[in-house]
């Protein structure tokens, strides 16, 4: 805070953003509540909460102030306009809690409403300079490294997530092969939709939440964020990209991708798979404390280019070959710092406690296949880079 000249951080936890408000969750232990966290320099954070949520507020372990300390209803009587009432409430809060100087706002919320609110606040409270940080804000940077307890939580989420992948493979293999298809007991084809339903049960059983995941076959596997068509039958010899990124009740994510072919893999898929695996292993050997994420992205691009694949480095708009970045930080968000951008400024350096995905891939939608291999890695206190994803990486699943 001192480095950035910030006197106070205010982290808003508005209604409806549960699970999508990592800055707020970082302070509130992912408790389900609406409130506002105030951090004054060199002081402990304070949570403003509502009576209805006093149990959740208690469970955060933070110092607490009930919003009832301020006469919210009287303010609304005097200022029926909700924007004016909100500004008036904050004036009183700022006065009582000695909030002044450079005050930066964080948290996830309706961007238009907060733009209107913060503008009016800046106009009407001249003793406060309202600040918004655009890139790598102070909370994102704090969240960029994880402490040993967070790593242990993430290790457990990783184990549970991998168990779901293993159970899914078992489920698929439990079906009968007929010609090039897998069939259910009723003789109809096993579909992507059937597998997705199974995955959702397995996630729920293990207390994992996933707003979405990818189980895409053939051409769809060739489009990185295609989540898969529920009606597609599960056929032999086609690449299946299974990308699972759930979080547990504490809000921490895992992210893993495996690509497999049932029964056999065509030779061109085997070749591309080998290229991806070798890129994966080569870049993992290069990770080093102090390394700049962008250099690893460039390394992988060049690795693939040497093998004859297009990449985003030489052809930023390509939809064939290697079409995305190497990975992303992971924690209370599925995409957070550090990023591995191909272009633009990249000031981050790899450090002890960072958790990030490593996910090279090759995509050939027109040829009907795509491959991505992804583990979640972390850098331990000795500067060693280790996988949190205990799962084999085999292309061919024998039936």
- Binding to a copy of itself (CB under 8 A) within 228-287 occurs at none
374-393 in b/e burial notation, b at 16+ Cβ within 10 A?
A: bbbbbbeeeeebbebbebeb
247 close to 369: Cβ distance less than 8 angstroms: no
- Taking residues 304 to 323 in sequence order and writing x for each that binds a copy of itself by CB under 8 A, - otherwise, the string is --------x---xx-x---x
Residue 18 in the binding site for a copy of itself (CB under 8 A): yes
Please report, as residue ranges, which positions from 111 to 170 form the binding site for a copy of itself (by CB under 8 A). Answer: 111-119, 130-135, 137
Please report, as residue ranges, which positions from 58 to 117 form the binding site for a copy of itself (by CB under 8 A). Answer: 68, 71-73, 76-77, 79-83, 85-86, 104-117
Residue 16 in the binding site for a copy of itself (CB under 8 A): yes
Segment interacting with a copy of itself, rule: CB under 8 A, options 51-59, 89-97, 155-163, 278-286:
51-59
Least distance from a copy of itself to the Cβ atom of residue 359, Å: 12
Distance of CA 303 to the CA centre of its chain: 26
Decide whether 206 or 351 has the Cβ nearer to a copy of itself. 206
Size of the site for a copy of itself (CB under 8 A): 84
Taking the C-alpha atoms of residue 182 and residue 174, their distance in angstroms, rounded to an integer, is 9
Taking the C-alpha atoms of residue 376 and residue 328, their distance in angstroms, rounded to an integer, is 9
Q: Is the previous residue joined to 100 through a cis bond, with omega within 30 degrees of 0? A: no
Taking the C-alpha atoms of residue 396 and residue 342, their distance in angstroms, rounded to an integer, is 31
N-to-C CA span, the chain: 57
Cβ neighbours for 336, distance < 8 A, ≥ 6 positions apart: 22, 140, 143, 144, 328, 329, 330
Decide whether 136 or 386 has the Cβ nearer to a copy of itself. 136
Decide whether 9 or 265 has the Cβ nearer to a copy of itself. 9
Please report, as residue ranges, which positions from 328 to 347 form the binding site for a copy of itself (by CB under 8 A). Answer: 333-335, 341-345
Segment interacting with a copy of itself, rule: CB under 8 A, options 199-207, 261-269, 298-306, 379-387:
199-207
As a three-state string, the secondary structure of 343-371 is: CCCCCCCCCCCEEEEECCEEEEHHHCEEE
Segment interacting with a copy of itself, rule: CB under 8 A, options 17-25, 167-175, 176-184, 386-394:
17-25
């Amino acid at each position: 805070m001192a480095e950035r000249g910030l006197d106070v951080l205010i982290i808003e936890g508005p209604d409806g953003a549960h699970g999508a408000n990592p800055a707020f969750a970082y302070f509130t232990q992912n408790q389900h509540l609406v409130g506002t966290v105030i951090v004054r320099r060199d002081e402990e954070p304070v949570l403003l909460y509502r009576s209805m949520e006093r149990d959740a507020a208690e469970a955060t372990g933070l110092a607490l102030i009930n919003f009832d300390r301020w006469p919210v209803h009287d303010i609304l009587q005097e200022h029926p306009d909700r924007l004016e009432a909100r500004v008036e409430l904050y004036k009183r809060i700022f006065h009582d809690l000695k909030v002044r100087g450079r005050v930066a706002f964080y948290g996830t919320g309706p961007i238009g409403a907060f733009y209107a609110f913060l503008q009016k606040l800046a106009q009407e409270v001249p003793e406060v300079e309202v600040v918004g940080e655009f890139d790598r804000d102070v909370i994102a940077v704090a969240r960029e490294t994880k402490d040993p307890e967070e790593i242990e939580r993430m290790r457990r989420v990783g184990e549970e997530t991998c168990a779901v992948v293993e159970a899914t493979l078992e489920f698929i293999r439990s079906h009968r092969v007929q010609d090039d298809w897998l069939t259910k007991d009723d003789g109809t084809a096993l579909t992507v939709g059937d597998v997705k339903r199974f995955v959702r049960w397995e996630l729920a059983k293990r207390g994992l939440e996933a707003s979405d995941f990818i189980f895409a076959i053939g051409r769809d596997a060739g489009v990185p964020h295609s989540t898969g068509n529920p009606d597609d039958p599960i056929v032999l010899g086609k690449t299946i990209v299974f990308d699972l990124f759930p979080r547990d009740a504490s809000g921490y994510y895992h992210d893993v991708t495996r690509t497999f072919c049932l029964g056999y893999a065509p030779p061109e898929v085997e070749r591309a798979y080998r290229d991806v695996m070798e890129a994966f292993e080569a870049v993992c050997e290069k990770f080093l404390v102090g390394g700049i994420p962008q250099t690893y992205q460039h390394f992988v691009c060049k690795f693939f280019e040497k093998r004859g694949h297009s990449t985003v480095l030489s052809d930023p708009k390509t939809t064939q070959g290697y079409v995305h970045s190497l990975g992303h930080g992971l924690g209370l968000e599925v995409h957070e710092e550090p990023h591995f951008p191909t272009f633009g400024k990249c000031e981050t350096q790899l450090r002890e406690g960072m958790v990030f995905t490593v996910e090279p891939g090759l995509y050939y939608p027109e040829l009907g296949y795509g491959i991505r291999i992804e583990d979640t890695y972390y850098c331990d206190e000795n500067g060693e880079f280790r996988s949190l994803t205990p799962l084999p990486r085999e292309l061919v699943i024998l039936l």
